[in-house]
Amino acid sequence: MPPHDTPLTGKRETAGLAAVVGPAILIIMIAMGTRLTVGLFVQPIMDARGLSIAAVSAALAVGQLSWGIFQPIFGAWADKGHPFAALATGLLCIAAGQALTVFADGFWSLTLSQGLLSPAGVAAGSFAALFGIAASKIPAARRSVAGGIINAGGSLGQFAYAPLIHMVTHLRDYCASLWVLAGLALVAIAPSWFLCRIKDLPQAAEAVSGQEREGLREQLAVALRDPSYILLHAGFFTCGFHVAFLITHLPVEISACGHSTAVSAASIALIGLCNVAGSIGVGFICNRFLMKHILSWVYFLRAVIIGVYLFAPKTALTFYVFACAIGFTWLATVPPTAGIVNKLFGKRYLATLFGLTFFSHQVGGFLGAWLGGVAMEQTGGYLWVWYADIALALFAALVNLPIREEALPAEA
């Protein structure tokens, strides 16, 4: 039996994967936990500062756009050989953004803290940069599984942060919760340092394609001329619209239906918990089915789930069931989207190229967060935004089908 097939070597590979994935999970838990629970601060900020739902939504919508803009920037910084500097700078930005939100008393100060600083920092600790860093250390055959597990870490953060924020806010106030989030962001600098010092695992190195030998600028030009890459952007735009709308406005809708903040916190937590299963499950089946077909089914299921929700009575149980159902599809689009980018262009500039795809995601996020606020202020509800979400999900299910997807070459 060849040495690389022995049980001992298999255990070493598993330990090596854990050493890479473990710190990545901690980082994304803290970064994405901060970002995916921002909706829990909407009502407290409105009540304490006297801001309208439209003003708060607009500030958070700018944050969705900033999150997208800074992902390829931090990704390129990491791709250029400075992964720890990129991660540490991002975490410092998260801490600064949360701290400054305590003192934000108007639209512009809230936009600075939650529209620029915090989301820019989350961009460094989000999936694009982290997966780019991890993928350079992991064999190609393990990347989709590792990607699913790392992506699930963001939902674990959402699951853990939602009750934490509710508890601290209930015991003190929302400002105390913001200080806690700022402190946790600083804690994540330690696993960032550890992740960036880990050596590449055996078989992580692979043959470099002609495209990967090109510089970043040339690689970007090739990618932006590829119809499959453009279609991937179009589908991911829908994911951003959907996630940002729900994260920002689901707690407001729950409150408008007469339920307590505890129902909002539990619903956000359930979305995160169920997405752990969704992300890991999708990560595993990416090795068995074409990823474009997985994406198409995920988007179609979202349309169905939202349609059923609209006709259901708005009881607490309905929100819990909806949160569980939508949670399985929540960020399950991320591993196959990153996997297709990896298949199309290789791992050399994966953090940058997937970061650009995430920018399209966040353009959709900007519209989802902003239009939700406009709808609530103008009509007193979100009905037409829900209908738009269904239409966009069906659109995304269709545009992923023509994507050119070829299997990765088998490792030697």
Q: Which one-letter DSSP state was computed for residue 328?
A: H
Q: If you average pLDDT over residues 406-411, what whole number do you get?
A: 49
> What confidence score (pLDDT) does residue 210 get?
47
The token duo for 313 is 């009575």
Structural contact between residues 155 and 272, judged by C-beta atoms closer than 8 angstroms = yes
DSSP string, 203-233: T---PPPHHHHS-HHHHHHHHHT-HHHHHHH
Domain 13-201+218-399, CATH homologous superfamily name and number: MFS general substrate transporter like domains (1.20.1250.20)
| pLDDT cut 70: percent of the chain above it | 90
pTM score, whole prediction: 0.74
136: pLDDT strictly greater than 80: no
Q: CA 236, CA 223: separation in Å to the nearest integer? A: 16
- Domain residue ranges of the chain, discontinuous segments joined by +: 13-201+218-399
Q: CA 156, CA 56: separation in Å to the nearest integer? A: 26
Q: Which one-letter DSSP state was computed for residue 406?
A: -
3-class SS of residue 344:
helix
Each residue of 355-399: pLDDT tens digit? 788 888 889 989 998 999 899 989 988 999 999 999 999 999 999
> What confidence score (pLDDT) does residue 2 get?
43
Which H helix or E strand runs over 242? helix 227-256
Angle (CA) 268-271-277 rounded to 5° is 150
Each residue of 220-268: pLDDT tens digit? 888 888 899 999 999 999 999 998 899 889 998 999 999 988 999 899 8
Q: Of 181, 170, 139, 212, nearest to 412 (Cα)?
A: 139
Structural contact between residues 283 and 159, judged by C-beta atoms closer than 8 angstroms = no
